């Protein structure tokens, strides 16, 4: 079987299984197995696959047809250009979260060195690692309630040589931190799916992402309520809170924060023009030139 034949047959199979973008998924899986850049497949269409390569592709395609995420099959994904190991213990980083990371490192770069940031619910560590890599003098703290998730995050930090500037702490939110710990930036992509909505999610998310990284309580706002009430005590003067949220949640989160004496400085959109993350500061610490969104 040639590369082209394998692509065609696998694409047809995934199409019948209603997998989105079947040709792209096939090419990404085959490129991973052959250790080639995807576009190099087009220069190797006539290459004959070895029996072991055919078997490996069949197994990968079978797993994808059962809606196991491609990122789990290949064991990694890209976030802000940094390769992150992922597995069923962590939420697969989404492209829209890269915009949150960029806002975070841009703000940290404006703070006196050494700036500090807390990644609240770090999962794979993608946010903390991107911030540490982009801000070489910054000090990061990353907390998560899941020990297996922190193990993944530590490995990712070591891969990108920022482990010496990220303190990973196991525990339930702010309880994982020393009482005196404060930060220039609190950044988070917390669980924000309403509990009752989880069974309705696409299978790749519902069946393979850890539910603890999805479940935001009855209304999806559990963690925003916690941040609104407790994050202020952890923020240094002039510091920022930056959080990602789900579709349609911006008004409710704004109200939660404003009732807790936060100033919502901006609500920003993702690549699809949906309101996706919010920047806030404490009343009395708004910096000049910041516009409300």
Is the predicted pLDDT of residue 286 greater than 90, yes or no?
Answer: no
Task: Name the more confident of 284 and 258.
Answer: 258
Please tell me the predicted confidence (pLDDT) of residue 293: 33
Residues 253 and 202 in one domain: yes
**Do 59 and 122 belong together in one domain?**
no
Per-residue model confidence as pLDDT tens digits over 49-92 = 999 999 999 999 999 999 999 999 999 999 999 999 999 999 99
Helix axes of 126-134 and 97-109: crossing angle, nearest 10 degrees = 40
Q: What is the pLDDT of residue 283?
A: 75
- pLDDT in the model for residue 291: 35
Q: What is the mean pLDDT of residues 218-245?
A: 96
Residue 285 has what pLDDT? Answer: 53
Q: Are residues 126 and 271 in the same domain?
A: yes
Q: Point out the domain boundary residue: 13, 34, 66.
A: 66
Strand stretches in the chain, DSSP E: 76-79, 82-85, 116-120, 139-144, 166-170, 183-188, 235-244, 262-269, 275-282
pLDDT per residue over 238-257, tens digit each?
999 999 999 999 999 999 99
- What is the Cα 186 distance to its own chain's centre? 15
Contacts of 243 (CB under 8 A, 6+ apart): 100, 187, 188, 189, 190, 224, 227, 253, 277, 278, 280
In the chain, the percentage of residues whose pLDDT exceeds 90 is 95
Split at pLDDT 50, 70, 90, the class of 290 is: very low
Which has the closest alpha carbon to 238: 280, 293, 181, 180? 280
Q: Is the pLDDT of residue 262 over 50?
A: yes
**Dihedral sign, CA of 279, 226, 183, 212?**
negative
Range of the structural domain that residue 50 is part of: 3-66
Burial 52-87 (b: 16+ CB within 10 A, else e): ebeebbeebbeebbebbbbbbbeebbebbebebbbb
pLDDT digits (tens, 9 = 90+) for 151-188: 999 999 999 999 999 999 999 999 999 999 999 999 99
What's the pTM? Answer: 0.90
Question: Are 48 and 141 found together in one domain?
Answer: no
CA distance 207 to 29: 20
List for the chain the helix, strand, coil content (%; round to 5). 45, 20, 35
Does 292 map to a domain?
Answer: no
The secondary element (H helix, E strand) that includes residue 72 is: helix 70-74
* Predicted pLDDT at 284: 61
> What mean pLDDT do residues 198-223 have?
94
For residue 100, the model assigns a pLDDT of 97
* 40 lies in the same domain as 137: no
Same-domain status, 53 and 95 = no
Residues 91-146: pLDDT tens digits?
A: 999 999 999 999 999 999 999 989 999 999 999 999 999 999 999 999 999 999 99
pLDDT of residue 288: 34
> Any residues with CB less than 8 A from the CB of 43 and at least 6 apart, and which?
none
What confidence score (pLDDT) does residue 21 get? 96
The CATH number assigned to the domain holding 123 equals 3.40.50.150
d(CA 195, CA 199): 8
Cα distances (Å, whole numbers) of residue 278 to 64, 78, 186, 253 = 34, 23, 12, 9
Number of domains in the chain: 2
Task: Specify if 259 maps to a domain.
Answer: yes
Residue 228 included in any domain: yes
End-to-end Cα spacing for the chain:
56
> Do 182 and 262 fall within a single domain?
yes
pLDDT at 292: 34
Using the 3D structure, point to which of 66, 81, 110 is the last residue of a domain.
66
């Amino acid at each position: 079987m040639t590369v082209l034949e394998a692509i065609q047959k696998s694409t047809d199979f995934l199409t019948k299984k209603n997998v989105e973008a079947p040709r792209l998924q096939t090419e990404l899986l085959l490129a991973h197995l052959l250790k080639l850049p995807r576009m190099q497949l087009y220069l190797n269409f006539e290459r004959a696959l070895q029996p072991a390569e055919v078997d490996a592709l069949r197994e990968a395609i079978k797993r994808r047809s059962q809606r196991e995420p491609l990122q789990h099959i290949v064991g990694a994904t890209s976030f802000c250009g940094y390769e992150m190991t992922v597995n069923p213990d962590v939420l697969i980083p989404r492209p829209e979260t890269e915009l949150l990371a960029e806002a975070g490192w841009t703000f940290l770069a404006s703070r006196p060195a050494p700036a500090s940031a807390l990644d609240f619910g770090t999962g794979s560590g993608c946010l903390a690692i991107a911030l540490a890599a982009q801000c070489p003098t910054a000090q990061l703290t990353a907390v998560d309630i899941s020990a297996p998730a922190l193990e993944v995050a530590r490995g990712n930090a070591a891969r990108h040589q920022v482990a010496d500037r990220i303190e990973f702490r196991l525990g339930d939110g702010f309880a994982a931190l020393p009482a005196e710990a404060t930060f220039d930036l609190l950044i988070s992509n917390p669980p924000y799916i309403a509990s009752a909505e989880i069974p309705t999610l696409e299978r790749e998310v519902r069946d393979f992402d850890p539910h603890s990284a999805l479940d935001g309580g009855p209304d999806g706002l559990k963690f925003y309520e916690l941040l609104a009430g407790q994050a202020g005590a952890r923020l240094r003067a002039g510091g920022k809170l930056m959080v990602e949220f789900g579709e349609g949640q911006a008004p409710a989160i704004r109200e939660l924060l404003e009732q807790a004496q936060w100033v919502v400085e901006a609500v920003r959109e993702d690549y699809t023009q949906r309101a996706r993350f919010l920047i806030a500061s404490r009343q009395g610490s708004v910096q000049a030139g910041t516009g409300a969104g």
